């Protein structure tokens, strides 16, 4: 599953876009430099997210939308088409418009 697919699945489960999660996290005092375990615990308690999905959000909350280029078009299970993740909701993602 691509990184973007993880984010889209989180949105489908919670109704919250990745960008909204970033804002919620900032309201809780999380951001760059925050510990993953603290963010994972919050996401599990408040949104019922498992570790894998929570870790995808940890990346977005602490590092924002850029991902390592080694994951771009790598042909692996976690391959993404771009090094920039879409945070504004899957229905507005230009990559999903056909």
Provide the residue ranges of all domains of the chain, joining segments of one domain with +.
3-83
CA–CA gap between residue 54 and residue 93 (Å, rounded) = 21
Does this model's pTM top 0.85? My answer is: yes
- The model's pLDDT over 1-44, given as tens digits with 9 standing for 90+, comes to 888 999 999 999 999 999 999 999 999 999 999 999 999 999 99
Degrees, nearest 5: CA angle 92-50-97: 15
**Is pLDDT at 59 greater than 90 in this prediction?**
yes
pLDDT for 16 = 98
Q: What is the DSSP string of 68-79?
A: -GGGBT--STT-
More confident residue, 74 or 41: 41
């Amino acid at each position: 599953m691509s990184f973007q697919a993880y984010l889209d699945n989180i949105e489908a489960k919670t109704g919250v876009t990745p960008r909204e999660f970033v804002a919620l996290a900032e309201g809780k005092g999380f951001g760059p430099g925050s510990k993953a375990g603290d963010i994972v615990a919050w996401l599990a308690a408040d949104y019922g997210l498992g570790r894998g999905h929570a870790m995808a959000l940890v990346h977005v909350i602490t590092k924002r939308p850029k991902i390592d280029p080694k994951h771009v078009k790598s042909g692996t299970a976690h391959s993404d088409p771009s090094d920039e993740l879409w945070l504004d909701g899957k229905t507005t993602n230009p990559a999903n418009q056909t």
